[in-house]
Amino acid sequence: MLNIGWYSTARGESSRKLLQTTVSSIKSGVLNARISFVFCSREPGESEKTDLFFELVKGFSLPLICCSVKKFADAYQQKVGVKDEKLPVWRLEYDRKVMSLIKGFKVDVVVLAGYMLIVGDEMCKKYNMINLHPALPDGPKGTWQEVIWRLMEEKACESGVMMHLVTPDLDRGPVVTYCKYAITGPQFDNLWESMNTTPISQLKNLQGEENELFKAIRHAGFIRETPLIIHTLKSFADCKIKIDREKKIVDHHGHHIDGYDLTEEIDRILAK
């Protein structure tokens, strides 16, 4: 049985839905696993949306661990927002605090499911942590918004979603699994044509995320995110893939692979 650790900042509905889907997959027998604990970087009372997440966790009778990163930052007279990959001292101390809180739990893999903090080197080395990134392994870095604008700028023909090992090198850890999807063809061609020669910068200012091509690319990726996470965990649970001591992905024969392609599996799910 796969023992899963679950990290989330739980800022919205998608965090709750992902946890619900994973628990349902476990209860139905699709996923031979258990969630050992749920960790949140907020505490009760900090956010109404996060409090809804807490109610869900308690309803599933899952161990819940909280440590407010905001309160931790306040104690150091620092701000939470850190975009630089090199973390300040107080953030590394926060990671150590989190590790001390979860040390009693058995965990094979930690899923970052809407966890809005960069993870420091010590925590990356101690745990096998996986994260969702809304692009192909060789695709753009950054948020899903930044990825989509870059795809539009490059007039890309395809994109994807991947799970990767968390490393200090942001969004560039070894690829665990991925799936591809086309962003050309009947559903997209007219939308590409409607852009004509309008610069992307102008589209951002005039339409922003309401641009029809932007929304279509986002939808194509979004509907694949949860199935990819579930089938990634299933691949671990079924021993189709493993993480070796060198923090590399290996198949069931023990051979190193550059990511496990789940495109066919995800397409079958979406076709139902």
Q: Which domains does the chain have, with CATH numbers?
A: 1-127 (3.40.50.170), 133-160+176-272 (no CATH)
Identify the three-state secondary structure at position 8: strand
DSSP 8-state class, residue 240: S
81: pLDDT strictly greater than 80: no
- Kindly state the tokens that stand for 83: 């975009």
Instruction: Give yes or no for residue 108 having a pLDDT over 70.
Output: yes
In this predicted structure, the answer to whether residue 170 has a pLDDT above a threshold of 80 is no
**Nearest-angstrom CA–CA distance, 144 and 141:** 9
- Three-state secondary structure call for residue 9: coil
Q: Are strands 33-40 and 2-8 parallel, antiparallel or unpaired?
A: parallel
Give, for 189, the enclosing helix (H) or strand (E). helix 189-195
The predicted pLDDT at position 126 comes to: 93
Task: For residues 38 and 54, give the distance between their C-alpha atoms in angstroms, rounded to a whole number.
Answer: 9
The confidence score (pLDDT) of residue 255 equals: 93
pLDDT at 85: 55
pLDDT band of 195, cuts 50, 70, 90: confident
- Averaged pLDDT, 43-60: 95
Where does the chain have alpha helices with state H? 13-27, 48-59, 69-75, 89-102, 121-126, 144-154, 189-195, 200-206, 212-237, 263-271
**For the segment 14-32, what is each residue's pLDDT rounded down to a tens digit?**
899 999 999 999 999 999 9
Mean predicted confidence (pLDDT) in 150-168: 93
Contact 187, 270 (CB under 8 A): no
Q: 219 pLDDT exceeds 60?
A: yes
CA–CA separation, 98 and 6 (whole Å): 12
The model carries a pTM of 0.90
At 197 the pLDDT is: 78
